[in-house]
A and B are shown apart, each in its own frame.
Chain A
Amino acid sequence: MWYVDEERLEHIAIGAGILGTGGGGNPYYGKLHVRRLLREGARIPVVSLDEVPDDALVVSVGGMGAPTVGIERIHRGDEPLVALRALEEHLGRRATHLIPGEIGGANSTRPMAISAMTGLPVIDADGMGRAFPELQMDTFAIYGVSSTPAALADIYHNVVLFPRLADALTLERYARAVTVQMGGAAGYAFPAMSGAEAKRTAVPMTLSLAEAAGAAVRRARREHADPVAAVLRVTGGQVVFRGKVIDVQRRLVAGFARGVVELDGLGDDRGSRMRIDFQNENLIARRDGDVVVVVPDLICLVDAETAEPVTTEVVRYGLRVAVLGIPAPALLKTPQALAVVGPAAFGYPEIEYRPLPGIYGGDRLVGERDGTEPSWPRSG
C-alpha cells in the first residue's frame, strides 16, 4: 500500500495526460480538487490488485460528459460519491474499494477525490490502461462484469439509477442521454464488482505507471534531459514520428469529435507526412499512407521539447510534436477485446490490428514485481 501525496499527484496528472492518447479530458481540474483535499488533511491509500480480497466490493467511480463542459462548469466534487451511495443503497452493501474506470485523462484523479472523502482505498489498476470514448470499451465490460446496477448523479445530487440494462452498450446510450440532461457532465458509480472480478478484468498497476511516467518527465525536464525519451522508458513504445502540425480537421459525428491531424516531418522524418485519425482519442497513425499504429495501441501526441501532452481539442496548426506509439496492455489485445476496441469497432474494418512490438509499461511493472514475464489475461 502507498499513499498519494502532492508530488505523486502532480506526477499522476502528467502521466494520465499522456495515457489519455489525445482525449479523456484534462486531469488538471481533478488534480486541483485532490490537492486541496490533501492540504486539508485527507489521506488517499492506494492498494495493488493482489491486496484486494476476493469478496471485496469494488466500484468504479468518476465523471462522464463533455470536456468542454468540464473546463467551464467545474464539478461540485462529490457527484460520484452521491452516485456511489445510491448504488450501495441499491445493493444493500457498502463498497470496500474504488477503482478508476479510465487512467487516461481526467478520470485518473476523480477516484482519489472520492477516496479522500470516504477513506476507501483506490486500487492501482483501471479499466482501460489508456482512454476510450465509450464506456462499453472498458475491460470490466469486455470480460463480462455486469455494467448494472449503475448510478449517475448531477450537481444537485439528483440520482438516476439503472437497476438492469441489457449490456454495456445500452448503458452507454442511456447514460449519455441522461448526462446531457444533467448539464453535459455527471458523476458515475459503475460497475460494481467483486474483488475476484477486479483481479480478473482490470488492467493492473496503471496508477503506478502514470505516476512513474510523470515522475520521469519532471526529472528529465529538471535535468535538461529528453522528457520524450524518459516517458518511453517508462511506458514502453517508441517515437514513430516527429513533425509539425500542418492541418487539423474536426467534425461532429454522432456526438463525437472525429477528425484528422496531418503532420509534416522534421529531423529524421523530414520529407515524410503523418496522418492521424481521431475520435476524441487518436485511433490510427499512417506514415506516407502506410498504417504504423492502430488502436488499441496508444497514439500520443506530445510537445516535442517538453513531452506535454497535446489533446485532440487543443491540437492546432504549427505545433511541433512527437508522436508516441505505445503498445496496448495485454488485456486489450485478446480477440475478445479487439472486437470492442480494435480498428473495426471504430469504423476501420479494412485495417488489420498489428500490435506494436514491446510491452505496455503497466504490464512490465507487474512482471518486474512478480519476477515473471507478463501473461494476460489471467485465468480465473
Chain B
Amino acid sequence: MRIGIDVGGTNTDAVLLEGREVISWAKRPTTPNVTDGIRAALQAVLSGTDVAPRDIGAVMIGTTHFTNAVVQRRELDRIAAVRLGLPATQAIPPLTDWPDELREAVAGLVRLLPGGHQFDGREIAPLDRAAVDQLIAELRAEGIDTVAVSAVFSPAVPDHERAIGAWLREALPGVHLTLSHEIGRLGLLERENAAALNACLNTLARRTISAFTRALAELGIEAPLYLSQNDGTLMAAGFAARYPVLTFASGPTNSMRGAAALSGIADAVVLDVGGTTTDGGVLVNGFPREASFEVEVGGVRTNFRMPDVVSVGLGGGSLVTADGGRVGPQSVGYRLTEEALIFGGRTLTASDIAVAAGRASFGDPARARSLPVDLVQRALSVIDGRLSELVDALKTSPDPVPVVVVGGGSVLVPDEIEGASVVVRPPYAEVANAIGAAIAQVSGEVDRVFSLEGRSRDAVLAEAKAEAERLAVEAGADPATVSVVEVDEIPLAYLPSTAVRIRVKAVGNLRGV
C-alpha cells in the first residue's frame, strides 16, 4: 500500500492506495510550514481504515514549496556559482540574466575558471589546481559552504565537474555541492541557472525534507519517502534533499498522471478545474506533453522540461457578471464557501450557475434556483465556449479526443464539449494530484551529443537506450517494468561532422511496492 500527498496552495490532499484502488482520501488545509498540513492529512487518511502505519510501503509527496521559495525570494542560501569554461564563455558570466534583487540576495561569489570540454570530448582546458585553491581560500574567507558548479558540455563529459567537486569536498568538509550535469541537460546558461537555484534551496530542502521524514516517523510510518519531479517521476527523499530544484512544476504533471490512472485513458486532453483557473494539458502515452520553450522560474531561465499547460481564468469561484455575459477571470478563490450564493453569500459565481443549471448539487441549491433562466443560459454558453476553445487549442488532430476532467471545480464542465469524443469524470477526480504522486514511476534519462563516426545510428541509439534503462534501475525501478518512453534526436546543424544530440528517457515502476 502507498500514500500519495499533494501539497497545494490551499489544500493538502492525501490518498491511500492499494495497487490502483483508492482505499481512502482526505483533504486538510495547507499550513505555512507544510509539515503540519501533511501530518494532519496523513492522520486523516489512515483514520477510519484498518490499515496500520507499518503496512504502508511508500509515501510520495508532491509539493510546490521550493518553487514558492524561489518565487517569493525567501529562505534562500548565499552561494558560490563556479563555471569551468575558460577561455570560452567569458562573454556571459554566470547569473548574468538573473533579476538583480535575486542575484544580490544569493550570489556570494561568482567565478569563471579554466576547464570544460568541446562537443567532441576534447578538453577546452585542463583544470587549474592553483585557481581552485584560490577559490577554496575565497570560499573560506567569505564563509560560503554551498557551491553550484557548471562545466561546458558536462552532460556529455562530467569529468571536470566531478574532479573539482572532489577537491572542494576534500578541502571543505561539509561543503554542499550541486554539479550541473546531475540535474540539467545541454544549454549551459539554463543548466547553470538550475544548478544555482538548487544550491540556494539547500538549507530549506534539507530542513523541510527531514521534517517530512520526522512527521512520518511520528505516525509510525517506516516506509521510504519519495518526492515527485517535474517529469512525473519520483526521487527518493535523500536525493530530493540534495536536488530540490527537480520538484519544480510537479503539480500539473501529477494532476495529469492522476487523470490518466483514474480514467484508464492514456491519450487525452485533461482539464484540471480549480477555484480560479482551469489548467489544460495533453496526455500522450500516459505522460504530459512537454512545453518546448525555456521556462522561467521566479524570473530565472531554466531548461527543465515542464508540462505544456494552458491556463484560462475559469474556475468554480469565477465571478459572473449580472447579465451572465462574462465569467472570470476574477474569482472568489478559496472563499467560495463564504461568498457564493449557494453558500449564503452575495457573490454570483460559476458554481452558482452550475448548480442552477443542474450540473451539480451542493451548497443550498434553492438559492440558485431563483436566478433568471436567460442569465444562467448566457453564463453557461460563455463557460462552455471557453472550455471548447481550450480543448480545441490543446488538441493535435481534428478528430474528437477524450477529455478527462479532474479538480474541485469539475462540476462546471458539461457532459458534452465540442471537439470531445467523450467527457470522462473519473471517481476521486478531486484528489487526482495526490493519486498522480502515488502512482508515479522512476526514470532514467540520457541527453548528450553522440558521434556517428564509424558507427551506425542504430548502434548509437541502442547505447543511449541501454544507458537510460540502467539509470532508471539505479533510481529504483523494477528492471522487469522499465521501458523507453521517449527518443528524440537532433542533428547538430551547420557542422559537416556526423554528430547528433540524442535524448532518451526510460521509466519503470518502483521496485518492491
Interface residues of A (CB under 8 A from B): 23, 29, 32-33, 36, 64-69, 71-77, 113, 133, 155-157, 176-177, 179-180, 183-184, 244-246, 250-252, 254-257, 264, 266, 270-271, 280, 308, 310, 312-320
Contact = CB atoms under 8 A, between A and B. Distances in A.
Contacts of A313: 490, 493
B493 A23 contact: yes
Nearest to B489: A250
Contact of B494 (A29, A33, A67, A271): A67
Given A113-B91, A308-B293, A73 B152 contact: yes
B396 A183 contact: no
Contact of B119 (A73, A77, A264, A266): A73
Interface stretch (B213-221, B350-358, B495-503): B495-503
B212 interface: no
Interface stretch (B26-34, B167-175, B183-191, B238-246): B183-191
Nearest to B394: A318
B88 A65 contact: no
B187 A72 contact: yes
Interface in B129-166: 152-153
Contact of B89 (A23, A68, A73, A310): A73
Contact of A68 (B118, B282, B449): B449
B90 A280 contact: no
B180 to A, nearest CB: 11
B116 interface: yes
Nearest to A310: B292
Given A71-B188, A184-B118, A308-B293, A66 B492 contact: yes
A280 B493 CA distance: 7
Q: Which of B88, B289, B494, B496 is most buried by chain A, counting CB atoms within 10 A of its CB?
A: B494
B491 interface: yes
Contacts of A308: 293
A312 B493 CA distance: 10
A32 B96 contact: yes
Contacts of A36: 91-93, 96
A180 B393 contact: no
A343 to B, nearest CB: 20
Q: Which of A179, A252, A266, A310 has the most CB of B within 10 A?
A: A252
B445 interface: no
Interface in B457-506: 489-498, 500-501
Given A66-B492, A76-B90, A176-B496, A314 B116 contact: no
B347 to A, nearest CB: 26
A69 B116 CA distance: 13
A259 to B, nearest CB: 9
B137 to A, nearest CB: 26
A77 B449 CA distance: 24
B97 interface: yes
18 contacts: A32-B92, A65-B495, A67-B493, A67-B494, A68-B490, A68-B493, A73-B89, A74-B91, A133-B494, A156-B87, A176-B496, A183-B124, A184-B120, A252-B500, A255-B497, A314-B293, A318-B394, A320-B393
A237 to B, nearest CB: 24
Contacts of B489: 250
